[in-house]
A and B are shown apart, each in its own frame.
Chain A
Amino acid sequence: MALRNIIGKRIGNGIGLVGRRSLSTATSDVENRNAKSMNLYSAINQALHLALETDPRAFVFGEDVSFGGVFRCTTGLADRFGKARVFNTPLCEQGIVGFGIGLAAMGNRAIAEIQFADYIYPAFDQIVNEAAKFRYRSGNQFNCGGLTIRAPYGAVGHGGHYHSQSPEAFFCHVPGIKVVIPRSPRQAKGLLLSCIRDPNPVVFFEPKWLYRLAVEEVPEHDYMLPLSKAEVIRQGSDITLVGWGAQLSIMEQACIEAEKDGISCELIDLKTLIPWDKETVEASVRKTGRVLISHEAPVTGGFGAEISASIVERCFLRLEAPVARVCGLDTPFPLVFEPFYMPSKNKVLDAIKATVNY
């Protein structure tokens, strides 16, 4: 087909890199054959095993990844694929990402681990000024699309200032990278494989609280979930809730309780924060007329602000109530005060009711 040839030439590598497996558009489409119960770090570990197995030019590196990583996500990789492909780096985030950019620029899949999202900032210059602009500034002569940066993020119950942060908003303001956050083990495996194989640099935040806590049936085969496609994980008609990562399970509990009061909640997992799926969220808001966004990160300048502004711009006349945001406080993430800081189930529930009764 002539058009196929044209598209093939123009889009080029983008097609090959997507892989030859079918892309599912919703979780239900992921076949459950050979599914095994596993937690989040095991699912991520499986994804990494598959990534290295299917691509001889894939590498995993970062602090402490060789022995399996501080969260066990890289267990078994060094033994199986060798120390040339899975290796410890010096303790230097700017070096990890800078090195990863160079590796990716040569056509490799560079899967870099930042030990905690709280420590990603030394690499911020490399991510924003280099990785995000590498393709654009070169006129598409070069790219570092093979770069994926993984980092555990979010509250863990006792993490305090520097083991609990959710820095996603900083990165959502950077054209040229993608930001992806999975909510569960099954999602994580499919999304991580998509991120690794996506021809753009991606920052992948893993909810550390769920590493051991979240257990799910995860198919053992190689599957990918699409990026920039939000998922309605609970159908409803009275209010739309939007969230990502670990916060979704809190929001889900609030939805269940709201149901008892006769409020029908639609819950959306955004999954990819940039570029984000406005269409799915808007379609839901047009149905419900109300929207609530919830994230752990501090409310001011959090990504909820972008979603809110965008929805108000596009769905103003449909809205029955102001856009609600239930988020972390504008403080450093506290230790003893964590329960007060967090956007808890009851905070979300109260906001649902206030919005519905507006």
Chain B
Amino acid sequence: MAFCSRNSRNIIIINLLKSKVGSSRLMKLSRVCCYGTCLNSTNHCRFLPSTTTLPQLGNPDPNSHKKGHSPCSQRFQSTKSGQQFASLPNGEHSQVLDFPGGNVVFSPEMQFLSESPNVYNPCYRVLDDNGQLISNSVFVQVSEEIAVKMYSNMATLQILDTIFYEAQRQGRISFYVTTIGEEAINIASAAALTSDDVVFPQYREPGVLLWRGFTLQEFANQCFGNKADNGKGRQMPAHYGSNKHNYFTISSTIATQIPHAVGAAYSLKMDKKDACAVTYFGDGGTSEGDFHAALNFAAVTESPVIFICRNNGWAISTPTSDQFRSDGIAVRGQAYGVRSIRVDGNDALAMYSAVHTAREMAVNEHRPILIEAVTYRVGHHSTSDDSTKYRSADEIEWWRMARDPVTRFRKWIETNGWWGSEAESQLRSSIRNQLLQAIQIAERAEKPPVKDLFRDVYNNIPSHLREQEKLVRETINKHPKDYPADVPVDVAVKDDGVSVYDVDVIVHDDDLIIHVR
């Protein structure tokens, strides 16, 4: 087997395969060869020079940052920009500057790093467009049970999206965001994680929550903002959050969650937990400063965090050509010292394998991993968007039908004899009925009481907010017609004759001193 070892990514793959030898989970080894990133004018692969050492996995060298890069990951000389030489000519080692950042090799030639590679960063995929395994593909095996659960969740997500979208169109909920086209990213990534891994989503990842057990009723409750919404009706629909499921509450702001994930990952590392942090964002989100800040912090703090970018081609109406000029997102990882991979986001098996592997690296090696999942946003950006205004309906239809990740995965599980048309129709009608019912229940339920407007701004309600609540209640009494009828305005339930919100609690020398206002 010829191993191209000049690219550090390939080296990593090699070691991983070696470590997995004997594990039944690893399927066929591929010819792990240059995916075109080892470049020279003749495009040959070269063997690793015997003098070079491979980077060690599993026992990260804490001083590696001082020693500088391994020769295989250094930038090489070339006579033209855009070309990279295969290896470091031995003679050049003599001129070296021992710089605080590492050993820097001099060069009398002036060469600029190219702004673009000769070949696009390859995209890892395992299933072809017809859901059939590509020969010699490397992937992590999935049991029938998991595969069927993955498929069911993907189909459920599709139906959930369709029905909620309709509900918004009917005026029953104010807003909705679909995940159509990105079901594989959502479900397969979630399936590859454990329930202890903490998730910091953007807003197009309800599938992760679905996988973890958030019920259809709970989704409906949040969208209708009723009193059972664990967010207490404070945010727009589709802004889910659940501490029970380790899924941090969504905020509409783009990319702000990415550095949060890094801090959370650092905490997990300090607590020595077998868990990582995972955060999702779109191609647009990678332009925000928070993305860059987070990757850099993750590398420096050596935090076990997985960055999953859903590169779906569009940020509302902005195509990726208006978003960045790099070859996508995964290539940026190396610039920050973050290991990264580009994956076919519509290939559930590839997504599962990549995330599974990334998680092991993150947790065992205390390092961040960047995954660029290439996909397509089939739906509009949201219910406030009509994407036919900036892209062709044909393009949308093509991706919806020919490249549907759900169908593709279904074909694979059917090929394995794990699924059939009867199971399919049963699932779809069952989910549909459950959803319609959940929506009816959610719609009829009461909204949270008006006191929830004033609570949780701080851990306790401060006096100025209590005062404002009092004034608002006076206004409500005076002008009841100004206010929605389905928001209860009753005063807080009394306990032991004392309103729970009218009490100061002070801790004094281990005694609770309760001052009743």
Contact = CB atoms under 8 A, between A and B. Distances in A.
B456 A99 contact: no
A145 B243 CA distance: 16
A139 interface: yes
B509 A22 contact: yes
B296 A142 contact: no
Interface in A103-147: 103-108, 110, 122, 125-126, 129-130, 133-143, 145
B235 A99 contact: no
Contact of A15 (B265, B457, B496, B505): B505
Contact of B263 (A84, A94, A101, A138): A101
Nearest to A310: B464
A141 B509 contact: no
A90 B508 CA distance: 41
Contacts of B457: 135-136, 175-176
A141 B260 contact: no
Given A4-B512, A20-B510, A102-B262, A140 B496 contact: no
B335 to A, nearest CB: 14
Given A102-B260, A200-B458, A200-B459, A141 B500 contact: no
B243 A102 contact: no
A95 interface: yes
Nearest to A84: B270
B260 to A, nearest CB: 4
A105 B258 contact: no
A7 B289 contact: no
Given A4-B512, A20-B510, A176-B458, A90 B256 contact: no
B261 interface: yes
A105 B248 contact: yes
A138 B507 contact: no
Interface string A164-196: 000000000001101000000000000000000
A138 B459 contact: no
Contacts of B248: 105, 138, 142
B260 A7 contact: no
A278 B463 CA distance: 9
Contact of B266 (A7, A103, A275): A103
Given A15-B507, A130-B253, A136-B457, A103 B296 contact: no
A100 interface: yes
Contacts of B201: none
Contacts of A126: 256, 259, 290
A8 interface: yes
A2 B512 CA distance: 12
A92 interface: yes
A142 B240 CA distance: 12
Contacts of A107: 267
A129 B251 contact: yes
B261 A95 contact: no
A7 B458 CA distance: 17
Given A15-B512, A106-B198, A137 B235 contact: yes
B268 interface: yes
A228 to B, nearest CB: 7
Contacts of B230: 139, 141
A103 B264 contact: yes
25 contacts: A3-B498, A10-B500, A15-B505, A95-B259, A97-B259, A101-B260, A102-B263, A102-B264, A102-B265, A103-B264, A103-B267, A105-B263, A106-B198, A106-B267, A130-B253, A135-B457, A135-B458, A136-B456, A137-B234, A137-B249, A138-B243, A139-B234, A141-B241, A141-B249, A278-B463
